[in-house]
Amino acid sequence: MSIIQVTGSGGRVQSDRTPFYGGRVPPEISILIKPLSKCDKQTVGKILQLIVSSMEGKPVSHEQFKKISNENLTEQTLSIIYSGLYSLLKRAIRLPLTSLKPEMFKEDMNELQIPPEFQEDIASVVFGARRPRIEHEILVSRPRLPKLDQLKWRVDVAISTSVLNRVLEPTISMEMKLSNGKIHMFEVPVAQFHQLRYNVAYVLKEMEDLEKKSILKIQD
């Protein structure tokens, strides 16, 4: 299916793919273009260095911003350029190299009206030697829930209670150890355990069927 992309400048381009930034230009990238066009190549290079340092997990101080700003480039304008380029690069890097080729990235930057003199430096962040470190930092710093590290279980049979002298009803005692070190213990009756087992198997089957859909397969 062909996708028709309408650019902010009124140009209309037909393409068989979606740009790396999605169907619509994000606002932080949209407002980036005008102040970026008034920058020089050296200043943009310094801003990209700060962005790469931040993406690699290194702190970026306010003093580093002040060193770049001048009477022609206020801190407010610098923040707009920094945020826009950061968003642009992050959206590009999250796509695998098999999906986003350099020529595609250049085409998308042209549609965004990124000045040609800056495109090579921006592309060097996406396709350069420091990309693996950036990808690693994005992976380890992403928000996520604790994982299940260990699961122990046993079957207990209650012979009697304070109410009934003879019960003989089995229950499943479970102990979960999570990756954050927390341990949770709980008991479930056999019927509820079978329901849990069924639901887990159902979800795994649904995930397997979903992975087989062609829309989720990465095409070269």
Q: What is the pLDDT of residues 167-184, one digit of tens each?
A: 677 888 999 999 889 999
Contact by Cβ (8 Å): 118, 37:
no
Domain co-membership, 59 together with 98: yes
- Taking the C-alpha atoms of residue 52 and residue 66, their distance in angstroms, rounded to an integer, is 18
**H or E, element range at 14:** strand 12-15
**Enclosing domain of residue 109:** 3-141
Quick one: CA torsion of 30, 105, 218, 131, rounded to 10 degrees? Answer: -100
Q: What pLDDT shows up at residue 167? A: 65
Q: Domain boundary at 141, 171, 188, which?
A: 141
Task: Give the chain's residues under pLDDT 70.
Answer: 1-16, 160-167, 214-220
CA terminus-to-terminus distance, the chain: 16
Are 134 and 152 within one domain? Answer: no
Which of 218, 219, 1, 3 has the alpha carbon at shortest distance from 111?
3
| pLDDT of the residue at 60 | 87
* Rg of the chain, C-alpha, whole Å: 27
Last residue of a domain, one of 125, 141, 157: 141
Rounded CA-CA distance 85/43 in Å is: 13
Q: What is the pLDDT of residue 212?
A: 81
Please state, in angstroms and as integers, the Cα–Cα distance from residue 33 to each residue in 39, 112, 116, following that order.
10, 8, 12
Asked if 35 and 137 sit in the same domain, the reply is: yes
Structure-derived torsion over alpha carbons of residues 78, 84, 90, 92, reported in degrees to the nearest 10: -130
Looking at 141, 160, 183, the residue that finishes a domain is 141
| Residue 129 domain flag | yes
pTM tops 0.85, yes or no: no
pLDDT at 4: 37
Tell me: do 9 and 56 sit in the same domain: yes
Q: Sign of the CA dihedral 10, 11, 17, 22?
A: negative
pLDDT of residue 64: 87
The pLDDT of residue 123: 96
Same domain, 98 and 175: no
Whether 14 and 84 map to the same domain: the answer is yes
Domain count, the chain: 2
Indicate the SS3 state at residue 162.
coil
